[in-house]
Amino acid sequence: MSSRTPDRPDRARDGKGRWVRSPEMAARDARAADLRAEGYTFKQIADELGYSSKADAHKAVTSALRDIVAPSVAKLRRAEGDRLEYVAQRLMEIADREGAPVTAGKDGEVVVDPDSGEVVRDYSGQINALRTIVTASARLSALFGLDEPIRTDVNSTVHVQYSFGEGIDPEALS
């Protein structure tokens, strides 16, 4: 929900008091980006489009570029997520397979457990697949912002030493 302000009836604010960018403002910002691409300075853009300063013209161009980039980034993020999910699925297929039989000797005879009579199997391929799945899962979590922010506490001590000229009594200053 937005409300208009008495001093700026053409601009609305959201429920938190922030300015809401209208479609007209977005179109004006896009025009500012077009002018910048044509070689206009920010001052010229401000004069041409009625921005109050070259800083406002710069903000308009930045906003227009953000509008262009945001959908592309979201599309790329989805594509990368799809690729990582595909890789994880294929790796899970590998992890679910039975281990390869262990062979020994120059003829490559299959090793059999003497106690159980079962074929001894090598599960290193499955273990590596599972490790890679964990890596892909961590990448997916980071890609989609699922991880908790990392909190870092910084503590420091500052020592200040004052130097007073002759005739100044530091005790008298307190």
User: How does pLDDT run across 34-54, given as a tens digit for each residue?
Assistant: 999 899 999 999 999 999 999
Q: What is the pLDDT of residue 5?
A: 42
Residues 6+ apart with CB under 8 A from 53: 46
| pLDDT higher than threshold 50 for residue 1 | no
Region of residue 126 (left: phi > 0; alpha: psi -120 to 50; beta: else): alpha
Write out pLDDT tens, residues 103-126: 998 999 999 999 999 999 999 999
Note the pLDDT of residue 126. Answer: 95
How many other C-beta atoms can be found within 10 angstroms of the C-beta atom of residue 90?
Answer: 13
For 28, 30, 45, 78, 155, the CA distances from 59, given in Å and listed in that order, are 12, 11, 11, 28, 36
> Could you tell me if 106 and 115 are in contact, meaning their C-beta atoms sit under 8 angstroms apart?
no
Please give the pLDDT value at position 48: 95
| Residue extents of the structural domains in the chain | 21-143
pLDDT beyond 90 at 168: no
pLDDT at 118: 95
- Residues 84-97, mean pLDDT to the nearest whole number: 95
**Which pTM value belongs to this model?**
0.50
